[in-house]
Amino acid sequence: MSEKIRFASVWLGGCSGCHMSFLDLDEWLFDLAQAVEVVYSPVADIKAFPENVDVTLVEGAIANQDHLELIHTIRKNSKLVVSFGDCAVTGNVTAMRNPLGEADVVLSRAYQDAQFLNPQIPHDDGIVPPLTAQALPVHAVVPVDLYIPGCPPPAKRIRGVLQALLEGQSPEMIGREMLKFG
Amino acid sequence: MVNQLNRPPSPAGNGQPDARLLSDKRYKLIDATMRRYGYQGHGLIEALHSAQEAFGYLDDFTLRHIARTLRLPPSKVFGVATFYNYFTLKPQGAHTCVVCLGTACYIKGAREVLNAIEAAHQVKAGGTTADNQLSLLTARCFGSCALAPVITFDGETIGKVSPDQVADLIAQRLVGASQVLEHAKP
Amino acid sequence: MARTLTINDQEISAAEGQTLLEAARDAGIYIPTLCHLDGLTDVGACRLCLVEIVGSNKLMPACTTRVQEGMVVYTDTPRLRAYRRQIVELLFAERNHVCAVCVANGNCELQNMGIVVGMDHVRYDYLFPKLGVDLSHERFGMDHNRCILCTRCVRACDQIEGAHTLDVLGRGAHSMIVHDMNVPWGEATTCTSCGKCVMACPTGALFKQGSTVAEMVHNAEKLAFLRAARERRVWNV
Amino acid sequence: MNLEELNAIAHSERLAQAQKRHHLHVCVGTACQALNSEQIAKALQAALKQRGLQQDAAVKCVGCPGLCSLGPLVEVISKEDSAGPRSLLYQFVKTEDADEIVAHLGGEPVKRLETPLDQPFFTRQLKIVLENCGKVDPERIEDYIAVGGYQALMKVLTEMTPQQVIDEITRSGLRGRGGAGFPTGLKWGTVAKADPNRYPTNVPEGIQSRKFVICNGDEGDPGAFMDRSVMEGDPHRVLEGMAIAGYAVGANYGFIYVRAEYPLAVKRLRTAIRQAQRAGLLGSNIGGTPFSFNVEIRLGAGAFVCGEETALIASIEGGRGLPRPRPPFPAEFGLWGCPTLINNVETLANVPPIILKGADWFASIGTEKSKGTKVFALTGQVKHTGLIEVPMGITLREIVFDIGGGMPEGKSFKAVQTGGPSGGCIPAEFLDMPVDYESLAKVGSIMGSGGMIVMDDSTDMVEVARFFMEFCMDESCGKCIPCRAGTVQIHRLLTKIQQGRATERDLQTLEELCDLVKHTSLCGLGQSAPNPVISTLKYFREEYLAKIKREPSVSANGKRVEEHG
């Protein structure tokens, strides 16, 4: 059991589409499960991000204080941090708020200006984490070891990366199959 | 062919020149400049210089007039007018203060001088005060580096200014200028 | 008169007056470009087609450099590859390019260039400028967020349509494509609505209204066809 | 006007001047004028009148004698007085001092105003380009003619073939003073040989020439005012140089492209052109020969990039100042598609003396590869700031410490910046290096147009780099991507470093970007924009490192994460 690769995936500022695409790996997920131990993931019910993780796939941009705290823990506890999908790699749709201005402008645009009924900005200390000034790609906050672009990355691309990692090699990120954004 | 080129094109639309062109004598100055270049496109920048000198800034109407007279596409005229720093499309205040941010001035504290003016007169570089009295601009170098840091107020060069006294210096000149105006009134 | 030169250690022959880009393409050698478009004059602005010429200490743009007898050219050295990737990254960081929601997704020269240069992420800070979208024209739209300032639209409008509706406003990082005197496109009186600018655009900055994500196809080759038809009476159909 | 007529004017002007025993030269360059020097000239005039000395002495408004930091300056040149022929220089003169100065003419100097003329600031200089600045009245052509003006033009028109002129310039070893140092004779030869029909041309109606001479007076470097002083102080010499160049390359039309920020230079050049035309020294059949040459002024409008040849041409043509790839070079395909010679103001001002005194004389000054003199605008943290002209090969130490008088009290030398936003910062270890094109390039700077800014130990070098990068970013035309977007990112990284938010990774990104912008930008602006960063990184790296955040990231197995991204 201790031979297995300790594998994590996290869902930050994104739509979970990358995780959906991950699930599109279908029966290969069984092969993966043979090789790795899932120590943290939105598809597993684990509360705290564990220590000594080998590989962490990070979906989504860094968009709020929770993400910010978690990403530093992830970096500290993971040997390999992988930016998983366009939001993690570029900020993508999550970062489309950035040109508008900082958090307060964005919130009032979304919850007041664009609402007809009962406009109000949701807030609940300790429950709704405050937004960061800008939504940022992961590598703008902590060093990242590998990037998997795509919105979402096709299952084939995810498999290409993971398979190489399982074999102890660094995946070749070249060509349309592996690199196309969007 | 040559003759035709050296004549300004006839006015657009109903064939009547715009009333503003006839009533405002300053257009005569701009037209004289354009005539000097045979109403050809290479006179564009000189024409813009004339227009800015005459009006203090370049408005849409004037740019269109220049474009038509020099037979240039409007977008090209607009592109040229916005490429060069010297031209402005916004009306300026009654008085203009320019702070030199050239290297010699910069290392002798021009940034602090600018900050002091911005703070004291409530205006950002490139802008005009709310009462339209003072436009604050920056320049890349007047070539008066020996007097660094240098500002100009309505064309008058003032050298070796300090952040402490510069705001007062300008305030005095603003007051002085308005008193002269008061005086001139009948 | 033919010229003989070597590109990437391959001996090729080219016609006098041909550019390195033309000669290379005739010989089946790919050189990346963004601001070049067949049918328009070259401006040498995007710097992606820079090549190394033995004996010259400067990198030269293939699109504006003419072939010379005995020239020894390298188009794909590690140094050039590194520079090209940096340039493409600079473009992605400069404005708000979101492939996932773009009409040109899958048909975009910038997106493709990302793949060509092997860009898996952008090392520079994204600038996230606040830029507008002009939907005032009844058939077309312009999204400045996706513009890379290649000026292909400006040249197509001037050189092929002859309307010169488009030009560039301001300078440096503040440059923007403008219609007439910076009016909304729909109010630009010089515009003939011919759509050549849309054909010329390498990205999703200029698009046909009503097209949604990944639906946009540009037909840029139509411009070279038009030019050949008009100037040489040749119909390449 | 022919040679005899020219000589007659020179003779009668000299005669008239010789009748005065005292000449009072008042500097009316931009810096002194800003300190009311024109009023001082009027006050001196009034004082002479009051004392009935108009026959004896004359007041002359002259260009900049150089020592701007002591302005307003008045020089009193006396043919004979109690002490024999002598010159006196008065500093910080005020209008109130006029009467006292006049009262002391021929007698004891006004001690409280006197500054020695034998101080190193003057004695270590060698004036060729500036020889008339501070001596002739820039608004009177006769004054220029009296000191030998337009003799060189007459000489080439009557005694030399165009090829002989080019050969003379080539042999002199003169190189372009605008920055890059391209051999001037070679450039002239290329334009002379260029076929004006090789490329399609598009010359506007009314301009009768198929080749052009452009004088580049778009002195855009902040901290540089050499060309301004020459245009203000000795405008006819610029015109004469242009006409000689026109004759040599076969051009009949010239443009002077001047910054709109230099109104005084524009005014004096306009006056000079009018005078030269009236005197028949510009226009048709100059000196009774078949050669015709006209000059027109074009105003810049605030774009640093227009100092670049092809951008300057685009601007004269009435367009946005965008550079284009070279080749073809302007020498073959320039203004309106015609072969065009572009020389900087200082380069052209060197031409008349080379013609008159010969290539050998010029080539005897300077170093093996850099001949003649160079004008510098010495500014920053030195005692004497102003305009200086020194022989090539002089050391930086001599310039800063002898001519400049060293640092102000209590400060110590840190670096000298040459070449403006395109140049680099040179540290103390190279103070004994000779100033010439090759040596400056070797230490990562450039000669540039001649700005020289001295920095003391309190100067923050990262901030200096950031200042120049902000300049280049604002001045980038936006045409090519590396310069347009690269300068923005470099500036951003430098700001990040200044704010203590940068990591070592950022420093690496910065260095890669500088390399990119330097080697892939379209024109000289972009290609040289990273120089201030590269040179400060090279010589003052510890200042960068001191501001860098140590990366805190530690991987799970306890090893520091070194390589990421």
Is the CB of C181 less than 8 angstroms away from the CB of B63?
Answer: yes
Q: Is the pLDDT of residue D506 over 50?
A: yes
Mean pLDDT of D95-106: 91
Set of chain C residues whose Cβ sits within 8 Å of the Cβ of D473: 172-173
Compute the mean pLDDT over every residue in chain C, rounded to the nearest whole number: 95
Question: Distance (Å, rounded) from C-alpha C21 to C-alpha C40?
Answer: 14
> Domain residues of chain B, as ranges?
2-83, 95-184
Go through C170-189 and write b for each residue having 16 or more CB atoms within 10 A of its CB, e for each that does not: bbbbebbbbbbbbbebeebe
pLDDT of residue D219: 87
Mean pLDDT of D232-260: 97
By the CB < 8 Å criterion, does C129 face chain A? yes
Burial degree of B102 (CB within 10 A; 0-12, 13-18, 19+): buried
Closest chain A residue to C124, measured at CA: A140
Q: Is the pLDDT of residue B1 over 70?
A: no
Torsion sign over Cα B90, B96, B97, B101: positive
Mean pLDDT of B97-111: 86
- Facing residue for B106 by CB, picked from D221, D304, D467: D467
Contacts of D263 by beta carbon, 8 Å cutoff, 6+ apart? none
Span(s) in chain C for CATH 3.10.20.740: 2-76
Copy the structure tokens of residue A2: 């201790």
**CA angle (D171, D172, D174) in 5-degree steps:** 120
Domain spanning C2-76, CATH architecture: Roll (3.10)
What is the rounded radius of gyration, in angstroms, for the C-alpha atoms of chain D?
A: 25
- The region of weakest confidence among A22-31, C135-144, C159-168, C213-222 is C213-222
Copy the structure tokens of residue B54: 């005459």
Residues 82-141 in C contacting D (C-alpha not used; CB under 8 Å): 83, 86-87, 90-91, 93-94, 121, 123-125, 127
Is the CB of D522 less than 8 angstroms away from the CB of C44?
Answer: yes
Contacts of C23 by beta carbon, 8 Å cutoff, 6+ apart? C5, C7, C12, C14, C15, C67
pLDDT of residue B10: 63
- Facing residue for D489 by CB, picked from C45, C124, C171: C124
> Element (H or E) spanning D551, and its range?
none
pLDDT of residue B178: 67
Closest by CA to B72, choosing from D534, D320, A178, is: D320
Set of chain C residues whose Cβ sits within 8 Å of the Cβ of D492: 124-125
Burial degree of D18 (CB within 10 A; 0-12, 13-18, 19+): exposed
pLDDT of residue B14: 58
Closest by CA to A15, choosing from A72, A110, A96, is: A96
- Facing residue for C120 by CB, picked from A91, A92, A147: A147
Residues of D with CB under 8 A from a CB of C: 303, 320, 324-325, 327, 473-482, 484-489, 492, 509, 512-513, 516, 519-522, 565
Q: State yes or no: chains D and C have 3 or more CB pairs below 8 A.
A: yes
Question: Distance (Å, rounded) from C-alpha C10 to C-alpha C175?
Answer: 40
Span(s) in chain C for CATH 3.30.70.20: 101-232
Helix (H, G, I), strand (E, B) or coil at B95: strand
Residues of C with CB under 8 A from a CB of B: 158, 163-171, 178-182, 190
Is the CB of C83 less than 8 angstroms away from the CB of D513?
Answer: no
Copy the structure tokens of residue C135: 């939907």
pLDDT of residue B154: 87
By the CB < 8 Å criterion, does B73 face chain C? yes
Q: Which residue has the higher pLDDT, D363 or D549?
A: D363
Is the CB of C118 less than 8 angstroms away from the CB of A134?
Answer: no
Is the CB of D565 less than 8 angstroms away from the CB of C127?
Answer: no
Q: Is the pLDDT of residue C217 over 90?
A: no
Is the CB of D516 less than 8 angstroms away from the CB of C83?
Answer: yes
Closest chain B residue to C189, measured at CA: B74
Distance in Å, alpha carbon of A137 to nearest chain C alpha carbon: 9
By the CB < 8 Å criterion, does A90 face chain C? yes
Closest chain D residue to C57, measured at CA: D519
| Amino acid at site D462 | V
Distance in Å, alpha carbon of C140 to nearest chain D alpha carbon: 25
Q: Is the pLDDT of residue C177 over 70?
A: yes
pLDDT of residue B17: 73
Question: B28-50: per-residue pLDDT in tens?
Answer: 999 999 999 999 999 999 999 99
Question: D1-34: per-residue pLDDT in tens?
Answer: 889 999 999 999 999 988 888 999 999 888 888 8
Q: Is residue A84 within 8 Å of residue A161, measured between CB atoms?
A: no
Set of chain A residues whose Cβ sits within 8 Å of the Cβ of C100: 86, 92-93, 151, 181-182
Is the CB of C181 less than 8 angstroms away from the CB of B76?
Answer: no
pLDDT of residue D408: 86
Is the CB of B104 less than 8 angstroms away from the CB of D260?
Answer: no
Is the CB of C178 less than 8 angstroms away from the CB of B78?
Answer: yes
Q: Is the pLDDT of residue A1 over 60?
A: no
Mean pLDDT of D450-461: 91
Is the CB of D320 less than 8 angstroms away from the CB of B43?
Answer: no
Domain spanning C101-232, CATH architecture: 2-Layer Sandwich (3.30)
pLDDT of residue D564: 35
Compute the mean pLDDT over every residue in chain D, rounded to the nearest whole number: 92
Tell me the pLDDT band of B181, cut-offs 50, 70 and 90: low
**Scanning the structure block, which residue is given the tokens 């021929």?**
D106
- Facing residue for D317 by CB, picked from B42, B104, B144: B42
- The region of weakest confidence among A60-64, A99-103, B142-146, C165-169 is B142-146
**CA angle (C191, C196, C198) in 5-degree steps:** 100
Question: D371-408: per-residue pLDDT in tens?
Answer: 999 999 998 889 998 899 999 999 999 999 999 999 98
**Scanning the structure block, which residue is given the tokens 């930091």?**
D69
Highest mean pLDDT among A72-81, B121-130, D70-79: A72-81
- Facing residue for D481 by CB, picked from C47, C124, C174: C47
By the CB < 8 Å criterion, does B79 face chain C? yes
Closest chain C residue to A153, measured at CA: C100
Mean pLDDT of B92-105: 87
Distance in Å, alpha carbon of C105 to nearest chain A alpha carbon: 7
* Cβ pairs bridging A and C (under 8 Å): 73
CATH topology of domain B95-184: Glutaredoxin (3.40.30)
Is the CB of C111 less than 8 angstroms away from the CB of A174?
Answer: no
**Domains, chain D, ordered by start:** 19-118 (3.40.30.10), 148-363 (3.40.50.11540), 373-456 (3.10.20.600), 461-547 (1.20.1440.230)
Tell me the pLDDT band of D545, cut-offs 50, 70 and 90: very high
Is the CB of A174 less than 8 angstroms away from the CB of C118?
Answer: yes
Q: Is the pLDDT of residue D147 over 60?
A: yes
- The region of weakest confidence among A138-152, B120-134, D246-260 is B120-134
Closest chain D residue to B101, measured at CA: D222
Question: C77-116: per-residue pLDDT in tens?
Answer: 999 999 999 999 999 999 999 999 999 999 999 999 999 9
> Element (H or E) spanning C133, and its range?
strand C133-134
Name all chains with 3 or more CB-CB pairs below 8 Å to chain B: C, D
Question: Distance (Å, rounded) from C-alpha A90 to C-alpha A75?
Answer: 18
Tell me the pLDDT band of B179, cut-offs 50, 70 and 90: low
**Domains, chain A, ordered by start:** 5-99+131-179 (3.40.50.700)
Set of chain C residues whose Cβ sits within 8 Å of the Cβ of D521: 47
pLDDT of residue B156: 83
pLDDT of residue D96: 93
Please give the sequence-ordered ranges of beta strands (E in DSSP) within D265-307, or none if there are none: 294-299
Q: Is the pLDDT of residue A129 over 80?
A: yes
**In degrees to the nearest 10, what's the CA dihedral of D130, D135, D140, D141?**
-60
pLDDT of residue B134: 92
Tell me the pLDDT band of A126, cut-offs 50, 70 and 90: confident
- Facing residue for B75 by CB, picked from C164, C170, C171: C164
- Facing residue for D557 by CB, picked from A79, A139, A145: A79
Is the CB of C86 less than 8 angstroms away from the CB of D522?
Answer: no
Helix (H, G, I), strand (E, B) or coil at C61: strand
Question: D175-197: per-residue pLDDT in tens?
Answer: 999 878 999 999 999 999 999 99
Question: C29-79: per-residue pLDDT in tens?
Answer: 999 999 999 999 999 999 999 999 999 999 999 999 999 999 999 999 999
pLDDT of residue D175: 96
